[in-house]
Amino acid sequence: MANFIEENYDAVVVGAGHAGCEAGLALARLGFKTIIFTISIDNIAMMPCNPNIGGSSKGHIVREIDALGGEMGKNIDKVFIQSKMLNKSKGPAVHSLRAQADKKEYMYEMRKTMEATKNLIIRQAEVSNLIIEEIEGKKVIKGVKTVSDATYYSKVVVLATGVYLNARCLYGDVVDKTGPNGLKAATYLTKALLDNGIEILRFKTGTPARVDKKSLDFSKMEEQFGDMPIVPFSFSTDTEKIQKEQVSCFLTYTNEKTHEIIRKNISRSPLFSGEIKGIGPRYCPSIEDKVMRFADKDRHQIFVEPEGLYTDEMYLSGMSSSLPEDVQYEMIRTMPGFENAVVVRNAYAIEYDCINATQLKLSLEFKEIENLFAAGQINGSSGYEEAAGQGLIAGINAANAIKGKEPLILKRSESYIGVLIDDLVCKENKEPYRMMTSRAEYRLLLRQDNADLRLSKYGYELGLVPKEMHEKVINKEEFIKKEIKRLKETFVGESKEINDFLVKNNSNPINSGISLADLCKRPELGYEKIDEIDVFREHNIPISYIEQVGIEIKYEGYISRENKQVESFKKLEGKKIPKNINYLEMKNLRLEARQKLDKIKPENIGQASRISGVSPSDIAVLLVYLKR
């Protein structure tokens, strides 16, 4: 009789946060017997920081996850308490959906989905080691070991450890060697990674205090309402069924008194005292960082957000901090409506180990260890959505590895997830990576509204998107093409009825024939408004179809220009680089370029051109070399 447990699986996923959930579900749904390990089964898909899903650029990623057959969009549609489309005053490229979640319900629904998924087993245990063998001169993952020395053999392993590796939480002089929300840190796996030659970085993030709703005076704050009608994240969600009463958020501000307290106590912050060694996110700074860096600002926005329907905890978005407990109380009570605030949970910073993601291929498989994948914050990213997107791709590619199929590599020109992974793998990120719309070169093509048209074909081919959903997308695509053609070929002439309509809508009257498409392009009109004079239009067109037609017509010139740029981009991506190329011997390349190219080993010229430290002249030399 064996002294230790030994079990065999097709796949092991380490971690059950947002990355691990998507990876585990993808593998199991593709037919592979999968075990997912978590330090706490009660905290699957936990939202340790902000209580929302989506937001600027992140909403795009959630839509893309859904189009590929992932779960995040479906899950938030079940449990949201407020929904809002951000940036509506700007162009459609930056429209981003964001929903406030009931945090506990989000976890409960995701766990319920995972437990109901065939082939997926959830196990509470800490993974402490990797089983790696050398086969024909190549390292190959063969499974994992837990702290109890139980062995779980598998064909592939996905690491989705989040912020738990050697984690420690800090505020003031207090240092707790725990993960977020006081959960146990993972203290063994970093050594296993180092022992196998994997480069480790030390990053930091943070989270604000939570306060008791009963102690706040909301009359002194600005109430923030959700949108009506509610737009779902998932393309499969019935829009009519999710219309419901929403919970309000609120807006307040810091002031000079708040800032004075922070400046007076700045030496007590471990962020400024030197106690924190990890590098924090540039685009999500702590309140003390904001006050010190932006000394000219006399106030900062603080959004007050409910954490759920069955709790009085309110989240202070924009006020993450590592200041001592007494300072947190003092500064919070300076804000309007917070004069008598009661803190339920202190704000804290959290430090953790992660990997240098340049050690990964675009498939998220380690270059030096076959069948070992990594996804989420272990790759140096930040955010639930970025983690989930990576988790889905890692799960898909782990499944493809078992099948012996080519990995799914999403291009920068077709998805935000492609931009995210390409940036992580190509660029040496010295701080937690956060997705923004400005990082996408072709953002007018990568809108949140057309994610299904862009990506559902991949989800269907993989087997993650059902046939009826795929057919729905095909029908939508065909309708849009036919409708745009009809609008371009349908003309209206000068008449009292037409000109009265135009004048009523603050548009110039016409004195000759004009196509409906040209009327749609007028800023003050659009496809939605011209239905009054469009006698041939179908009735009961879905809102999403109307939105698509309107955008495609109004921005036709810009979209055409970006499509031409994409064609040039594809040519560079199509120039493959041999795997055995020796950059160090290419004397015409600058030394820095040789070193960077040798370290990252780009798969094509396009990827090589995006590596920090590789100049256009280096690319020209590389092209000449490849031509020879």
What is the model's pLDDT at position 35?
98
Answer yes or no: is 261 within a domain.
no
Nearest to 63 by CA among 459, 565, 434: 459
Answer yes or no: is 593 within a domain.
yes
Q: What is the pLDDT of residues 615-626, one digit of tens each?
A: 889 999 898 888
Q: What is the pLDDT of residues 359-410, one digit of tens each?
A: 999 999 999 999 999 999 999 999 999 999 999 999 999 999 999 999 999 9
**477 and 511 housed in the same domain:** yes
Residue 463 confidence class, pLDDT cut points 50, 70, 90: very high
Both tokens assigned to 12: 């092991």
- The pLDDT mean for the chain works out to 94
Residue 587 confidence class, pLDDT cut points 50, 70, 90: confident
Q: What is the CATH number of the domain that holds 118?
A: 3.50.50.60
The number of folded domains in the chain is 3
Q: What is the CATH number of the domain that holds 591?
A: 1.10.150.570
**415 and 547 housed in the same domain:** no
Answer yes or no: is 483 within a domain.
yes
Q: In what order do the strands lie in the sheet with 96-101?
A: 52-54, 96-101, 80-86
**501 and 448 housed in the same domain:** no
Answer yes or no: is 495 within a domain.
yes
Q: What is the pLDDT of residues 513-524, one digit of tens each?
A: 999 999 999 999
Tokens 């590098």 belong to residue: 279
Domain boundary among 456, 491, 510: 456
Asked whether 449 and 88 are in contact (CB, 8 A), the reply is no
Answer yes or no: is 127 within a domain.
yes
**16 and 141 housed in the same domain:** yes
**450 and 474 housed in the same domain:** no
Answer yes or no: is 303 within a domain.
no
Question: Stretch 561-572: mean pLDDT, rounded?
Answer: 91
Please give the residue range of the domain that contains residue 595: 575-627
What is the model's pLDDT at position 273?
78
State the Cα–Cα distance between residues 125 and 524, nearest whole angstrom: 59
Asked whether 463 and 30 are in contact (CB, 8 A), the reply is yes
Question: Stretch 460-472: mean pLDDT, rounded?
Answer: 96
Q: What is the pLDDT of residues 325-341, one digit of tens each?
A: 999 999 999 999 999 99
What is the model's pLDDT at position 274?
79
Answer yes or no: is 314 within a domain.
no
- The alpha helices in 242-315, defined as continuous H runs, are 256-264, 270-273, 287-293
Lowest mean pLDDT among 48-52, 203-207, 547-551, 577-581: 577-581
Q: What is the pLDDT of residues 149-205, one digit of tens each?
A: 999 999 999 999 999 999 999 999 999 999 999 999 999 999 999 999 999 999 999
Residue 430 confidence class, pLDDT cut points 50, 70, 90: confident
pLDDT at 2 over 70: no
What is the model's pLDDT at position 284?
78
What is the radius of gyration, based on Cα positions, of the chain?
26
Question: What are the CB-based long-range contacts (under 8 Å, 24+) for 267-275?
Answer: 268/172, 268/173, 268/323, 268/324, 268/327, 269/172, 269/321, 269/322, 269/323, 269/324, 270/170, 270/171, 270/172, 270/173, 270/175, 270/322, 270/349, 271/322, 271/349, 275/170, 275/175
Both tokens assigned to 586: 């290419």
Tokens 């009359």 belong to residue: 219
What is the model's pLDDT at position 128?
97
Answer yes or no: is 253 within a domain.
no
**83 and 150 housed in the same domain:** yes
Question: What are the CB-based long-range contacts (under 8 Å, 24+) for 454-458?
Answer: 454/64, 454/67, 454/414, 454/415, 455/64, 455/67, 455/68, 455/410, 455/414, 455/415, 456/67, 456/68, 456/235, 458/68, 458/408, 458/410
**444 and 471 housed in the same domain:** no
**Taking the model in full, what pTM does it have?**
0.95
Q: What is the pLDDT of residues 47-92, one digit of tens each?
A: 999 999 999 999 999 999 999 999 999 999 999 999 999 999 999 9
pLDDT at 281 over 80: no
Domain boundary among 534, 561, 588: 561
**191 and 55 housed in the same domain:** yes
pLDDT above 90 as % of the chain: 84
Q: Rounded to the nearest 5°, which phi and psi values hold at 558?
A: -65, -40
Amino acid residing at 241: K
**50 and 173 housed in the same domain:** yes
Residue 314 to residues 5, 162, 300, 302, 333, Cα–Cα distance (Å): 44, 24, 18, 12, 14
Domain boundary among 405, 429, 456: 456
Question: Stretch 128-155: mean pLDDT, rounded?
Answer: 96
State the Cα–Cα distance between residues 52 and 552, nearest whole angstrom: 30
Asked whether 153 and 7 are in contact (CB, 8 A), the reply is yes
Q: What is the CATH number of the domain that holds 495?
A: 1.10.10.1800
Asked whether 618 and 602 are in contact (CB, 8 A), the reply is no
What is the model's pLDDT at position 280?
76
**442 and 547 housed in the same domain:** no
Question: Stretch 412-428: mean pLDDT, rounded?
Answer: 95
Both tokens assigned to 501: 């309509």
**21 and 144 housed in the same domain:** yes
What is the model's pLDDT at position 1?
46
**436 and 486 housed in the same domain:** no
Lowest mean pLDDT among 77-91, 119-133, 522-536: 522-536
Check residues 599 and 414 and name the one with the higher pLDDT. 414
pLDDT at 283 over 80: no
CA angle 191, 182, 210 (to 5 degrees): 135
